[in-house]
Amino acid sequence: MALARAAMWMSGAVVSFSTMAVAGRAVSAELDTFELMTYRSLIGIALVCAIGGMSGTLGQIRTDRLGLHLIRNVFHFAGQNLWFLAIALIPLAQVFALEFTSPIWVALFAPLVLGERLTPRNLLAAVIGFCGILIVARPGAAEIGPGQIAAFCAALGFAGSALFTRKLTRHERITSILFWLTAMQAVMGLICAGADGQIAWPSSAIWPWLILIGCAGLSAHFCLTSALAIAPAPMVMPMDFLRLPVIMVVGFYLYSEPAEIAVFFGGAIIIAANAINLRAPAK
């Protein structure tokens, strides 16, 4: 069943993104987000070429849709930089909760960008999931600062990335998408990180975290791209809501971030929204 296979790929993406959040916070005191993205992308290029070479898929890399790759990677580069900024400023659960407005934008713009039908069940799942997010984030209960704004804007970037990833999967293979992801964003990172005339070199203590970020980032995009190749974007992206309860537990045990009842309640509503979405028949 297509949705079941997409759900399995998204489970891998959930673990990978959560791992990347922990590693990203670990390096945030030493590197800015542009430097982090530069090293992550360079590591990613090496991994894609090594794995692609061993699996014999490097021949999948094509150059006839570079414009579409560029649009996709501009959205993702902006979203990922803002995401790394947010996880250094506010609790992880709050970052993920605000980031999860992304499936709402995906569902709303999928008919425009992809020509995919937005079903009432998809829309209901998105609305219920967003209600759960509001319970977790509780807008108005605290002052909105740069961290919250960065997390929300990251969601817009990720939504654009997801939409154009789905568009690319109609013609491009996963190795090609991942190669141009890492190559283009390495160039973007070098330009932005070097704009001030200096790029920090990581210390020996930071390199293991950077390698973990590179591996987790590549794994996350492999899983996400695989899921989007199987099922429509409005069905796939709400599955990502499951990251919230996972990162809430991680934040509690690793950083002593409070595990509040509102977060548990909102997380339960988000899981219910995923259940509704996963029961939608594949068209």
What pLDDT digit, counting tens, does each position of 156-182 carry? Answer: 999 899 888 888 888 888 889 889 999
pLDDT > 90? residue 111 = no
Q: pLDDT class for 137, splitting at 50, 70, 90? A: low
pLDDT at position 214 is 86
pLDDT > 90? residue 141 = no
Q: Give dist(CA 58, CA 213) in Å, integer.
A: 23
pLDDT, one tens digit per residue, over 87-104 is: 988 888 888 878 877 777
Q: Is the dihedral of CA 56, 43, 236, 60 positive or negative?
A: negative
pLDDT > 90? residue 107 = no
Q: pLDDT class for 190, splitting at 50, 70, 90? A: very high
Tokens of 264: 């548990």
pTM for the predicted model, two decimal places: 0.80
- 37 contact partners, CB below 8 Å, separation of at least 6: 77, 80, 81, 84, 185, 188, 189, 192, 193
Mean pLDDT of all residues belonging to the chain? 84
Q: pLDDT class for 283, splitting at 50, 70, 90? A: very low
Residue that wins the pLDDT comparison between 136 and 72 = 72
What string of DSSP letters covers 199-230? -PPPPTTTHHHHHHHHHHHHHHHHHHHHHHHH
